[in-house]
Amino acid sequence: MNVAPFDRAARIGVVPVIAIPSADYAEPLADALLEGGLPIAEITFRTEAAAEAMARVSETRPDLLMGAGTVLSVDAVSSAVAAGATFGLAPGFDPEVVAAADAAGLPFAPGIMTPSDISLATARGCRLMKFFPAMAAGGPDMLKNISAPFLHLGLTFIPTGGVTQDNMHEWLSLPIIAAVGGTWIAKPADIEAGDWAGITARARHAVERVDEIRG
Ligand SMILES: O=C(O)C(=O)C[C@H](O)[C@H](O)COP(=O)(O)O
């Protein structure tokens, strides 16, 4: 499995999760993130515009490491690859989706929330997993506990769901965390309002926090 994009994501340490209302926002959004020193985005299949937005970003902003989120089906894997996504994530674990991503050469992180999920995902070869919904499921303490029996397998996690600027330090200080993710950097309302300066400011602030926490 090609893990290079996830290595890059782990080095960056924070992944903005995007629900984009229209593909017309793709370029200004990518520019706002790049301007803030955050060259990564997870564009989720939560909106109709997702595939077109991904295609525009991959064609016109190759410096942005662009992944597909909310990949819930085999078709979504194909759409993500066709649109130039270089990695994929999902909120849950679906073995058919993981197999399709593998077959397509798309590095993929399924979502997990229980030891059973982790067990199923590791058996399918996954080593990076999204922990979702991270805060509602019990926060860092929960993840530490459920992952403990699997750590000899070299697992790392991206917690999302309730993760923000204010609690990211609780996660990033754990060695099992590859990166944190969340929507707080670029909410759909910010995107629709064209608040690119606000998105850039939150992106920059998040990158600075990662640097402070990781030293
Ligand atoms: O859509 C997906 O594929 C997910 O896995 C879930 C998202 O990452 C979280 O819903 C983000 O949560 P908030 O940052 O609290 O808004």
Q: Which of 164, 15, 159, 165 is nearest to 86 (CA)?
A: 15
- Output the domain CATH number for residue 50: 3.20.20.70
User: By the 8 A CB rule, do 13 and 182 touch?
Assistant: no
Q: What is the DSSP letter of 24?
A: G
Count of domains observed in the chain: 1
> Is 166 contained in some domain?
yes
* 109 sits in which H/E element: strand 108-109
Q: How far is the CA of 194 from the centre of ligand 1 (A)?
A: 21
Compute and round to an integer the Cα radius of gyration of the chain: 16
Rounded Cα distance, 89 and 3, in Å: 13
Span 29-39, pLDDT tens digits: 999 999 999 99
Q: What tokens were used for 50?
A: 């997702």
CA-CA distances (angstroms) from residue 170 to 21, 131, 198, 202, 210?
31, 14, 24, 18, 11
Please identify, by atom number, the ligand 1 atom nearest to the C-alpha of residue 70: 3
Catalytic residue among 42, 48, 96, 187: 42
Best of 17, 158, 184 to mutate for ligand 1, by most ligand atoms within 8 A of CB?
17
Range of the domain at 93: 4-210
Is 144 catalytic? The answer is no
Average pLDDT, stretch 159-174? Answer: 97
> Is 215 contained in some domain?
no
Span 92-116, pLDDT tens digits: 999 999 999 999 999 999 999 999 9
CA-CA distances (angstroms) from residue 78 to 6, 71, 101, 109, 134?
19, 10, 8, 16, 27
Please identify, by atom number, the ligand 1 atom nearest to the C-alpha of residue 46: 1
State the pLDDT at residue 215: 85
Nearest protein CA to atom 2 of ligand 1, as residue: 70
State the pLDDT at residue 2: 54
ipTM score of complex: 0.95
End-to-end CA distance of the chain: 30
Please identify, by atom number, the ligand 1 atom nearest to the C-alpha of residue 90: 3
Q: Which of 59, 77, 61 is nearest to 69 (CA)?
A: 77
